Amino acid sequence: MKKITKAVFPVGGMGTRFLPATKSIPKELLPIIDKPLIQYAVEEAIAAGIETLIFITSASKHAISDHFDPMPDLRAKFMAQNKSHLVEKLDTLPVKIQRVFIPQGAPLGLGHAVLQAEAMIGTDEMFAVILADDFIQAETNPLQRLITVAETNHSATISVEEVSDDRISSYGVIKPSEWQSDYTRVVDIIEKPSLKMAPSNFGVIGRYVLPQSVFSVLKETQMDNNQEYQLTDALNALMNSSGLQAVKLAGQRFDCGSQEGFVLANLHVAMQNPEFKSQIQNYLSN
């Protein structure tokens, strides 16, 4: 099997939960302290062996491309001033990593976004999908773990974690088979079920490794009631043909698509900085 070297980043969402900030800033550029969400996602991908980044964008998302551009003038200025710590901050992407931007055209859902990457993926090639607003802090690279399980089983592989009852209807939810250490074969998957209909409390989070065959499946998928094409429907079809595995996330995830998750993620990272930590502790104790 060909090595997995391409990752798709659907970044065409409107970020309505963060208006007015997202009028001019894509939600993927919102920072956790000083580093944008998309930068964290890209670093995770590169550390897992990804060499080609495929961004599925919408109009007015040029800032994401700008973020990964080298800034030769500023770089030269910092170099001349011997400010190497600032030069490092400008290096948002290693030179050998290729970037591709594909416009989504219309906001027709995650399944539709992934379908736009079809021309970039070869026959029998597997690829990753990363949703940057699922911000993950983990010892083991979450995408790397998915890739290993996908390569072992030669099938689509997704990341899951246990979610609380009140949040279950915001996720794709799986029915696991028997767990083998941290992963299981999926025997059912439903997009955003009611608590009553949920087949377990394992919600799908924004890391996927998919086979090229997902594109033909996506083309057969029907729009849902919100006029969107859901990736979950395609995953359901793959589950019944070539199989679907789910890996339990080992790490902490923050849903930065929500304001609450975004604030907690910032707090979590701030607390890792000893200087901030004492200030935050002081602030909270007062």
Q: What is the dihedral of CA 186, 187, 192, 194, to 10 degrees?
A: -130
Short-list 248, 162, 235, 252, CA closest to 200: 162
Residues that bind ligand G1P (CB under 6 A): 110, 131, 134, 171-172, 191, 203-206, 230-232, 257
CB of residue 84 to ligand G1P, shortest distance in Å: 37
Among left, alpha and beta (phi > 0; psi -120 to 50; other), residue 269 is alpha
Residue 175: strand pairing partners:
188
CB of residue 124 to ligand G1P, shortest distance in Å: 26
Q: Which is nearer to ligand G1P, 64 or 246 (CB)?
A: 246
The bridge status of strand 172-180 relative to strand 183-191 is antiparallel
The DSSP string of 175-201 is: EEEEEETTEEEEEEEEES--TTT-SSS
Residues 6 or more apart in contact with residue 185 via CB below 8 angstroms: 176, 177, 178, 243, 244, 245, 246
Q: Which is nearer to ligand G1P, 81 or 227 (CB)?
A: 227
Q: Which is nearer to ligand G1P, 78 or 158 (CB)?
A: 158
CB of residue 52 to ligand G1P, shortest distance in Å: 22
Q: Which is nearer to ligand G1P, 78 or 246 (CB)?
A: 246
CB of residue 221 to ligand G1P, shortest distance in Å: 12
Q: Which is nearer to ligand G1P, 27 or 78 (CB)?
A: 27
Residues 6 or more apart in contact with residue 118 via CB below 8 angstroms: 215
Residue nearest to ligand G1P (CB): 172
Q: What are phi and psi of 179, to 5 degrees?
A: -75, 135
CB of residue 165 to ligand G1P, shortest distance in Å: 15
CB of residue 266 to ligand G1P, shortest distance in Å: 18
Q: Which is nearer to ligand G1P, 251 or 276 (CB)?
A: 251
Short-list 208, 214, 212, CA closest to 147: 208
Question: Per the structure block, which two tokens stand in for 89?
Answer: 């901050």
Write down the H helix ranges in the chain: 37-47, 62-67, 72-80, 84-90, 110-115, 142-153, 214-220, 231-240, 259-270, 274-285
Q: Which is nearer to ligand G1P, 204 or 238 (CB)?
A: 204
CB of residue 204 to ligand G1P, shortest distance in Å: 4
Q: Which is nearer to ligand G1P, 64 or 256 (CB)?
A: 256
Q: Which residue has the tokens 């499946």?
A: 217
CB of residue 192 to ligand G1P, shortest distance in Å: 7
